[in-house]
Amino acid sequence: MNIIETALPGVLIIEPDVFPDSRGFFLEGFNAARYARYGIPGEGHGFVQENATRSHHGVLRGLHFQINHPQGKLFSVSAGRVFDVIADVNPDSQNFLQWISMELSDDNHRQVWVPPGYAHGFCVLSETADVHYRCTDYFDAQDSGGVAWDDAQLAIGWPVVEPLLSDRDRALTSIASTRRWRLPQ
């Protein structure tokens, strides 16, 4: 397993060991003891919810976070390719407005660990993509927050000009017009 530290503190790209053979491949998608060595929650105080999405080409989901009950998330793609983005939207952070991106796919088998407090989103590059993610806290619709995918202050270089958005994501506003208490602290 290879761990790649990123420019955002705590955000890790994980490249699991993959063992291909004539039948396909095997990989260990999670090992609590091994992942805990890198600060990813494990045994007894780890993940409480697992989610999956299937999205079509051009779908953009995000940028999402929870405000008072932030979730750490371990993301991976089991089919297809996505452009994945993590952004620091905490006004008190020294990394405020910084973001990173990477491609996650069923070919590269990469995972990304998104610690609590970051905004996260992705855009589908392939015809369809299946994304799986484990969360360290339960989703709470009342605590859900986000910022617009095309926020001018972030200026994320998305690979899509007119993404397919949910009504919720279409209604997200810029960081500048979001009340401070509605952003991660």
Residues involved in catalysis: 64, 133
DSSP per-residue letters across 93-132: STTTT-EEEEEEETTT--EEEE-TT-EEEEEE-SSEEEEE
Phi, then psi, of 141 in degrees rounded to 5: -60, -35
Phi, then psi, of 146 in degrees rounded to 5: 180, 170
Half-sphere exposure at residue 99, Cβ-oriented, CA atoms within 13 angstroms: 25
